Amino acid sequence: MSAPETDTPHCKVVLAGTIAKSLLAEVAEGLKQIERKPLLVGFLSSADPAARVYAEWTGKTCRENGFEFSLREVPRDDLEEALITVNTDRTVDGIIVYYPIFGNRQDQYLQQIVDVSKDVEGLSHRYIFNMYQNIRFLDSHNAKKSILPCTPLAVIKILEHLRVYNTILPYGNRLHGHTITVINRSEVVGRPLAALLANDGARVYSVDIGDVQQFHRGQGLKKKRHEVVEMPGWTLENCLPVSDVVISGVPGDSYKVPVHLLREGAVCINFSSERNFSPEVKEKASIYVPAIGKVTIVVLLRNLLVSPPIVLP
């Protein structure tokens, strides 16, 4: 076990478990409206130790909070058939697959096999399309929310908890005035997160290994959805000094965000399984969130409650 985080005179360290507690209260209210325990089925077909840890966390959190969880370990070559079978099982409310499995486009194919009504990860084409187009509901009456991917949504819930979102502004514009750097542009987390933040009004610099892109909704939030602009020649040296929020998820133990480039008082969030921020970050940041895993799992339960089979008012 790692040592507990400690505050410095300039920095408040906020742990994921603290944020998760408030979200669990919302989940508990939703469960009161259901006469049975929702069943989430997890598929583990990977030897990745992080995937197994996430699966174990999922099961523990489910059972502690009134959900049923079934972990099915399936050889990866049999996973496609297993997903097709469970799609038609009326006792199953949600499906989660622990990626990566093949580590290529075949994983994207598997994501599309999961029936949209049981997709609690928001990875099906319909949900991804809605996310990038800034379409927030599945129906014209705005009764059924479109599901968002768990890790990007967890970051958003953390920013809401930290009051980075300005609740005085209209819903959908509440990050207006913020400049955010997201270090990671994976299709699973980094790029969706940049799009969601920009759709909520932020100017976002999406940093990948070889380039920087800017996600925004135009001057004065004129556009309904974000657009992407290439930033030739830009690096972290351009992005970090102007960003009041920095979110990093580089999956490498050697990578560290250069603290000397951070803006004084920035909010820093790490979503990698590795620590992307050195301890010195607390000398520069106003708020530091070292991990988000516990929030991600609670968001998964929340998605299960608001997915089409179990609709909350």
Q: Which of 11, 150, 239, 268 is catalytic?
A: 150
- Which residue's entry shows tokens 């009051």? 163
CA distances from 206 to 166, 218, 229, 236, 296 (A): 22, 16, 10, 10, 21
User: Is the distance from CB of 160 to CB of 205 less than 8 angstroms?
Assistant: no
Kindly state the tokens that stand for 187: 């299709």
User: Is the distance from CB of 61 to CB of 38 less than 8 angstroms?
Assistant: no
The question of whether 150 is a catalytic residue gets the answer yes
Helix axes 16-31, 293-306, angle to 10 degrees: 20
Q: Which residues, in sequence order, are bridge partners of residue 72? A: 43
Residue 303: closest CA among 44, 159, 124, 182? 124
CA distances from 213 to 122, 166, 233, 248, 266 (A): 24, 25, 11, 15, 20
Active centre residues (catalytic): 150
